[in-house]
A and B are shown apart, each in its own frame.
Chain A
Amino acid sequence: MTSPLMLSTEQYLVPSLPTIWFGVVLFTLAMYVALDGFDFGIGMLYATRDEHDRETLLAAFGPVWDANEVWLVAFGTTLLAAFPPIYSRLLSEHYLLAIAIVMGLVFRGVSPELREQRDDDDWQRICDRLFVFGSTITPLLLGTLVGSWIFGTPALSAPSLLTGIGLVALSLASGAAFVAAKTRGSLAADMVRYGTASTLSYLGGVVVLLTVVLWTDPVGVRSLLLTPSAVAVVLGSVLLGVGGIVLARRGRHRLWFASTVGLSALLVALVARLLYPTIYPASGLTIEGAVVSPLALNLVTVLGLPVLVLVLWYFKFLYDVFAGPIDEQGAEGGY
Chain B
Amino acid sequence: MDQASPILFARILEAIPAAPLLSAEFASRLQFGWTISVHILFASLSIGLAPFIVYFTWKDVRTDDPRYARLREFWVKLFGIGFVMGTVTGIPMSFQFGTNFPVFAEAAGEMIGGPLAFEAKMAFFLEAVFLGVLLFGRERVSDRTYILSSVLTGVGAWLSGFWILVVNAWMQTPRGFELVERNGMQIAQLTDPVAAFFTPRMPWMYVHMINASVISVTLLVAGVSAYFVWRKRNSEAWNTALRAAVVLLVITAPLQAVHGDAYGRHVADTQEQKFAAMEAHYDTGQADLHLIAIPKSADSLTDPRADNLWTISLPAMGSFLASGGDFSEEVVGLHEYDDNPPVALVFWSFRFMVGLGFLFIGLALWGGNLLRKGRLRESDRYLRSMILATPLGFAALLTGWYVTEIGRQPWVIQGVLKTNDAVSTTLTGAEATATLVAFVALYVVLLAAFGFAFKWLIEGELVRMGVREESDPDRPQLPLVSSDD
Contacts and interface: CB of A to CB of B under 8 A. Distances in A.
B114 A304 contact: yes
B133 A70 contact: no
Interface in B176-199: 183, 187, 189-194
Nearest to B459: A118
Interface string A272-316: 000000000000010001101101100110011001100100110
A92 B426 contact: yes
Nearest to A134: B88
Interface string B63-87: 0000000000000000011011101
B88 A105 contact: yes
B136 A87 contact: no
A247 interface: no
A59 B247 CA distance: 38
B484 to A, nearest CB: 22
A105 B446 CA distance: 13
A190 interface: no
Residue among B99, B103, B438 with the most chain A CB within 10 A?
A: B99
Contacts of B248: none
A103 to B, nearest CB: 6
Contacts of B424: 92, 95
Interface in A144-182: none
A66 B153 CA distance: 13
B125 interface: yes
B102 A92 contact: yes
B189 A119 contact: no
A285 B108 CA distance: 19
Contact of A81 (B92, B113, B135): B113
B344 to A, nearest CB: 30
Contacts of A315: 125, 129
B13 interface: no
A307 B99 contact: no
A79 to B, nearest CB: 8
Interface stretch (B202-210, B352-360, B449-457): B449-457
B98 A91 contact: yes
Nearest to B124: A70
A216 interface: no
Contact of B117 (A62, A80, A317): A80
A74 interface: yes
Given A77-B116, A300-B114, A103 B472 contact: no
Interface in B108-138: 108-110, 112-114, 116-122, 124-126, 128-133, 135-137
A269 B124 CA distance: 26
A103 B434 CA distance: 13
A73 B91 contact: yes
A118 B194 CA distance: 49
B467 interface: no
Nearest to A102: B92
Given A110-B446, A321-B137, A84 B109 contact: yes
Given A4-B192, A95-B431, A114-B449, A66 B426 contact: no
Interface in A73-125: 73-74, 76-78, 80-85, 87-93, 95-96, 98-99, 101-103, 105-106, 109-110, 113-114, 117-119
Given A5-B194, A70-B124, A73-B124, A110 B85 contact: yes
Contacts of B87: 66, 69-70, 109
B contact patch SS: helix
A69 B99 CA distance: 20
A321 B431 CA distance: 45
A227 interface: no
B46 to A, nearest CB: 12
B456 A311 contact: no
A80 B100 CA distance: 14
Contact of B125 (A7, A96, A311): A311
Given A110-B449, A295-B191, A90 B120 contact: no
A296 B190 contact: yes
Contacts of B310: none
A127 B113 CA distance: 35
A119 B475 contact: yes
B128 A109 contact: no
A204 interface: no
A63 B88 contact: no
A78 B95 contact: no
B288 interface: no
A14 interface: no
Interface string B427-450: 100010011001100100010010
Given A4-B192, A73-B91, A296-B190, A92 B438 contact: no
Contact of A73 (B94, B113, B431, B442): B94
A322 B140 contact: yes
Contacts of A314: 125-126, 129-130
Contacts of A304: 114, 117-118, 121
A87 B133 CA distance: 33
A80 B97 contact: yes
Contact of A321 (B94, B110, B140): B140
A296 B89 CA distance: 28
B60 interface: no
Interface string B310-330: 000000000000000000000
B106 interface: yes
Contact of A85 (B106, B130, B136): B106
A66 B191 contact: no
A283 to B, nearest CB: 10
A301 B446 CA distance: 38
Nearest to A311: B125
Contacts of B105: 80, 84, 87-88, 91
Contacts of B95: 76, 91, 98-99, 101-102
A238 to B, nearest CB: 34
A285 B100 CA distance: 21
Contacts of A76: 94-95, 98, 120
Nearest to A92: B102
Contacts of B121: 74, 77, 304, 307-308, 311
B7 interface: no
A99, A103, A114, A335: residue with the most chain B Cβ atoms closer than 10 Å:
A99
A81 B129 contact: no
B292 interface: no
A5 B106 contact: no
7 contacts: A66-B87, A80-B105, A95-B424, A109-B84, A117-B457, A118-B456, A303-B118
Given A63-B132, A300-B114, A322-B140, 20 more contacts: A3-B192, A9-B191, A62-B135, A67-B129, A70-B128, A73-B120, A74-B117, A80-B117, A81-B109, A84-B110, A89-B102, A95-B426, A99-B92, A110-B446, A118-B452, A119-B475, A307-B118, A314-B130, A318-B133, A321-B141
Closest 6 CB pairs of A and B: A84-B109, A91-B98, A81-B113, A88-B102, A92-B102, A63-B132
